[in-house]
């Protein structure tokens, strides 16, 4: 149905009153369509899904048409069990039960009640105020490895790697652990905070400079986390690609 005519506009107003809307699925207007276009343009054949939780990101890629390899990393036991169930029967979607960071060893992760807000870093009051369901629910011992340590065994046969990092304030440490292998990565999606939400997290401006220094161009921003009371945007996902790689396809 077109939303340009009077009937279409009425239908859209009704949807908005019900808390819904219609957005054209085109790369000009839809963040997922834009991201998938960039992934296809760079011929990505391996996605490293860091901070996979129960597999929500990988599932969204599959639903959007990506059929290449995915390797999902999730350190927490309960979330990893759900991730394994989600990937069952998909031979091109692998899982690893550890976190990625800037060292090889072990750590304690702060488990949140909603699971996906869990982080090695301590949550700040601003985050909890905006999302009470993210309250602290315990701690868990986890294994941690660097991207540089594991990439050779994971990337065999792959030529174009896309790195997605959703680690609740730990993104810079993941990139630090990929200092040697980052030049093999053609694109990345990083969760970026506009205000401090975790103790020691790195904000949007510094992360943009870090990615620019590494040779990446910011191609898209996808709004992610809002304060429900004030409507302030707190986190976005930044989608980055190497400019020459995109332009020469």
* Rounded Cα–Cα distance for residues 69 and 47 (Å): 6
Q: Is residue 21 part of a domain?
A: no
SS3 at position 149: helix
**pLDDT, mean of residues 50-73:** 97
- The per-residue b/e assignment along 195-222, b for 16 or more CB within 10 angstroms, e otherwise, is bbbbeebbebeebbebbeebebbebbeb
**Token digits of residue 103:** 């060292």
* Rounded Cα–Cα distance for residues 215 and 188 (Å): 11
Residue 202: give the domain boundaries: 30-247
19: left (phi over 0), alpha (psi -120 to 50) or beta: left
Q: What is the pLDDT of residues 221-243, one digit of tens each?
A: 999 999 999 999 999 999 999 97
Q: Is residue 17 part of a domain?
A: no
Report how many domains make up the chain.
1
Q: Which of 164, 194, 147 is nearest to 53 (CA)?
A: 164
Q: Is residue 203 part of a domain?
A: yes
**Residue bearing the bigger pLDDT, 4 or 178:** 178
Q: Is residue 80 part of a domain?
A: yes
Whole-number pLDDT of residue 16: 66
CB of 33 closer than 8 Å to CB of 61 = no
Q: Is residue 77 part of a domain?
A: yes
**Residue 34 scores a pLDDT above 70:** yes
Q: Is residue 16 part of a domain?
A: no
Query: Taking the complete model, does pTM exceed 0.85, yes or no?
Result: yes
Q: Is residue 14 part of a domain?
A: no
Q: Is residue 43 part of a domain?
A: yes
In this structure, what CATH number is given to the domain that contains residue 73? 3.40.50.150
Whole-number pLDDT of residue 27: 80
Would you place residue 17 in the very low, low, confident or very high pLDDT band (cuts 50, 70, 90)? low
**pLDDT, mean of residues 112-127:** 96
Lowest mean pLDDT among 130-144, 147-161, 233-247: 233-247
């Amino acid at each position: 149905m077109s939303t340009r005519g009077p009937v279409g506009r009425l239908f859209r107003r009704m949807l908005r009153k019900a808390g819904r809307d219609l957005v054209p699925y085109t790369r000009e207007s839809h963040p997922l369509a834009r991201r998938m276009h960039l992934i296809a343009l760079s011929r990505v054949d391996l996605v490293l899904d860091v901070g996979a939780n129960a597999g929500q990101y990988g599932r969204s890629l599959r639903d959007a048409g990506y059929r290449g390899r995915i390797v999902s990393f999730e350190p927490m036991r309960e979330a990893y069990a759900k991730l394994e169930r989600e990937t069952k029967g998909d031979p091109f979607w692998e899982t690893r039960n550890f976190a990625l960071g800037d060292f090889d060893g072990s750590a304690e992760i702060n488990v949140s009640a909603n699971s996906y807000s869990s982080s090695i870093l301590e949550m700040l009051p601003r985050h909890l105020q905006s999302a009470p369901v993210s309250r602290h629910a315990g701690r868990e011992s986890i294994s941690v490895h660097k991207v540089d340590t594991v990439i050779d065994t994971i990337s065999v046969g792959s030529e174009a790697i896309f790195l997605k990092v959703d680690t609740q304030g730990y993104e810079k440490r993941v990139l630090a652990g990929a200092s040697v292998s980052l030049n093999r990565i053609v694109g990345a999606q990083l969760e970026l905070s506009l205000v401090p939400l975790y103790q020691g997290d790195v904000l949007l401006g510094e992360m943009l400079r870090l990615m620019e220094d590494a040779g990446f161009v910011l191609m898209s921003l996808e709004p992610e986390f809002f304060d429900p009371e004030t409507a302030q945007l707190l986190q976005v996902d930044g989608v980055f690609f190497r400019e020459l790689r995109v332009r020469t396809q």
